[in-house]
Amino acid sequence: MSEQVYAFRCKTCGRVSYPKHAICSACRGETFEPLEIEGEGAVLTYTDVYALAIDYETRYLRLAIVQLDSGLRVTGQLLDESPKAGKRVRTTIGVVREPAGVGRPIYGLQFVPV
């Protein structure tokens, strides 16, 4: 599993989407190029998820939708003990799950306060 998370830019019109779509919603293009998700942004909303799969070792996950300064909206794990809408965060990549018996951690998008 990759230790990187990508958005995808349509090669026809340049629209960036995350996650990847089979067809561009702007121009119906079908070819895309990966674009590394990075930078800072603001928390739009967040929630705590308590209904997790049995192999999670944590009691809950805090997820957020973040509007990056680039204009892209992304969802990921919010690593903040005192979250609030509008708070500035920075994107990172980290382990979001270590499934029992699989032996390989799963990496994903995470946000930390600036």
Per-run averaged pLDDT (10 residues), the chain, 114 residues: 83 94 96 96 97 82 97 96 97 86 83 98
> What's the confidence (pLDDT) of residue 87?
98
Q: How many domains is the chain built from?
A: 2
The parent domain of residue 14 ranges over: 1-36
Residues shown for the chain: 114
What sign does the dihedral 98-102-105-109 (CA atoms) show?
Answer: negative
Nearest Cα neighbor of 90 from 54, 59, 66 is 66
> What's the confidence (pLDDT) of residue 75?
96
Mark whether 90 and 56 lie in a shared domain: yes
Mark whether 25 and 54 lie in a shared domain: no
pTM, full prediction: 0.87
